[in-house]
Amino acid sequence: MNLIELVEANRRGRTNAQIAEDAGGSIPERNYLPGLAKISNIPTVPKLHGIARALEVSPATVLAAAAEQLGLGQLQPGEDTEPALLGAQTRADRLQAELDNEREQARRLTKRLSNLKSRPKPSESRSTPTDDGETEYWRDHALRYRQRLARYEGLRPLPRRLN
């Protein structure tokens, strides 16, 4: 797998700018990532580490891909493949956890939506707003309060409500 294929395989929907940002500033997006097809030498150590960090692979994997891109043949990372496999497994576990989280959130939202759809509308539950006893209580309370306030302030009393 050459360097271009490695970047494409680990892109995960990110743009070149996002990959460059994930690399921690060690590779400039505008100069390096679009020009992967025409690299003429092995990337420097900071660029190798930056690309490895951004793609979540080992630096040996990036070095092997760059060497293949230059036509140097297949380089064998050797002892370094075990950490690369562990990193790949860690990344797969993280992505699976994110997927499970998103599925659980979708289930909860679907359940809330169905509960909201199944609730009776306020207009269906009671015929008129004055049927509610609590509303009537607070109206009478407000009327009594206004009458007491008018009495204390020396204002003309409000008319009493006829039942």
Residue-wise pLDDT for 99-120, tens only, equals 999 999 999 999 988 888 887 7
- Same domain, yes or no, for 38 and 86? yes
Distant-in-sequence contacts of 75-79, Cβ < 8 A, 24+ apart = none
> Is 83 found in the same domain as 132?
no
Res. 52: pLDDT tops 80: yes
Q: What is the pLDDT of residue 107?
A: 93
Provide the H-helix boundaries in the chain.
3-9, 16-22, 45-55, 59-70, 81-118, 122-125, 133-153
As for how many domains the chain has, the answer is 2
Q: Does 62 reside within a domain?
A: yes
Domain identity same for 138 and 82: no
Residues 84-99: tens digit of each pLDDT: 667 778 888 888 889 9
Q: Does 85 share its domain with 20?
A: yes
Same-domain check for residues 86 and 130? no
**Does residue 104 lie within any of the structural domains?**
no
At which of 72, 91, 110 does a domain end?
A: 91
Would 55 be classed as within a structural domain?
A: yes
| This prediction's pTM | 0.44
Tell me the Ramachandran region of residue 126: left when phi exceeds 0, alpha when psi lies from -120 to 50, beta otherwise.
Answer: beta
> 20 with 82, same domain?
yes
For residue 44, tell me if it sits in a domain.
yes
68, 91, 114: which is the final residue of a domain?
A: 91
Q: Are residues 84 and 136 in the same domain?
A: no
Domain assignment of residue 108, yes or no: no
* Structural domain span for residue 158: 126-163
What does the block give as tokens for 132? 């509610």
The 8-class DSSP code of residue 162 comes to: P
Question: Is position 53 within any domain?
Answer: yes
| Per-residue pLDDT tens digits for 33-44 | 666 666 777 778
